[in-house]
Amino acid sequence: MRIFLFIFLFSIAFFECTKRDKVPGHILSQQKMQAIMWDMMRADRFISNFVLSKDTSLNADSVRINLYQRVFLIHNISKEKFRESFDYYKDHTHLLKILLDSLDVRQNTNNEAQIKPVPWLDTTHSFKRIKKLLHD
């Protein structure tokens, strides 16, 4: 009887954990949300680095809303669909953490690619070879 009870409790816990990570069909997938949020972050960076630094008379919120609308058009979703999905992820913090961590990793790899050092070119070796060819 104890073994049956143990197996029953274990199977319930197992199925609840796997069911917990499933996203309902009406909610955007984690990959889609990551792509949308990445583009929204890039839009924010564009606004702060280029738009507002050039023209401080612009209203940042109206520019941001305009760019967010474009992001939604690119990804073929509505603002309401994004809001519904984002609220779902906020209610399921373990899924939101995975989503935000993936954005952080993406940002860090993007920064590393931009800061990648240029390999050192050893010009003395080439110069020595040219000098040797000239003397022969």
Q: Write the DSSP string, 60-110.
A: HHHHHHHHHHHHHHHTT--HHHHHHHHHHHHHSHHHHHHHHHHHHHHHHHH
Using one digit for the tens of pLDDT, what is the confidence trace for 121-134?
555 556 666 666 66
- pLDDT at residue 69, as a whole number: 95
Using one digit for the tens of pLDDT, what is the confidence trace for 46-56?
888 888 777 77
pLDDT band for 5, please (50, 70, 90 cuts). Answer: very low
Give a three-class secondary structure readout of 14-68. Answer: HHHHHHHCCCCCCCCCHHHHHHHHHHHHHHHHHHHHHHHHHCCCCCHHHHHHHHH
Using one digit for the tens of pLDDT, what is the confidence trace for 87-119?
999 999 999 999 999 888 888 876 665 555 556
3-state secondary structure of 136: coil
State the pTM of this model: 0.65
Residue 5 has what DSSP assignment?
H
31-36 average pLDDT score: 94
